[in-house]
Structure 1
């Protein structure tokens, strides 16, 4: 199984190389909405890196083209658990990334922080 470039970026805080791991027409399905295209998805994943604290991979399932990673993190000092699903092309580029987070009260806090982050730094496409 390939390591997760998304989890690596979130854990390290260095999301610069993340864009290179994304296919041009990648989709990111967040708990709130879907985002399309490399620039917008890289931007969203980078903003999430600023919201999730202390990201740790706690499990993984799947293969080379479709993998699910369990994660633990904190949002505002509260524990959150999640699943990150990554779908890849045959060359390893990410085509679809889906994030699930729980529990709901912490997810709501994360959504509020993402809203604030998007107000400060809107999507490159101007959508959303």
Structure 2
């Protein structure tokens, strides 16, 4: 989704009780998680998956991305329900300098388009 920047199918992939754990906070519920993940897709550029590890209902995906003129390395960890819906997505990003700049941009975008309130 981050490579294509098309988040239209994202809500259907998330369980109703999904949680997204960002480098800043945890967001609970399908609508909030989808909103944050879709907003991140507008901030990160040139996302390229470099490795993948899967084991049953868990997957870990390493990737590189760009924000402004800075390169980021990231890991996305996904946990799936028995029906295949995403129940927990955790994002790790580095280095801190680039992450800090990306967090500031996310904050600006979330001011313009805040996530839905928790149910």
TM-score in same-fold range (> 0.5): yes
1:5 match: none
CA drift of 1:62 comes to 2.1
Residues 1:124 and 2:116 aligned together:
yes
Correspondent of 2:104 among 103, 106, 112 = 112
Q: What's the C-alpha RMSD, in Å, of the aligned pairs?
A: 1.2
Deviation, structure 1 residue 126: 7.0
Pairwise CA distance, 1:64:
3.3
Answer yes or no: is the 8 Å Cα contact 2:28–2:118 preserved in 1: no
Structure 1 residue 68 corresponds to structure 2 residue 60 = yes
Please name the residue that 2:74 is paired with. 82
Q: TM-score, normalised by structure 2?
A: 0.97
| Structure 1 stretches of at least 4 aligned residues deviating more than 4 Å after TM superposition | none
Greater helix percent: which structure? 1
What is the CA–CA distance in structure 2 between the aligned matches of 1:89 and 1:100, rounded to whole Å? Answer: 21
Unaligned segments of structure 1, at least 5 residues: 1-8
Alignment: residue pair count: 119
Q: CA deviation at 1:43?
A: 0.3
Q: Tell me the secondary structure at the aligned position of residue 10 of structure 1.
A: coil
Counterpart in 2 of 1:59?
51
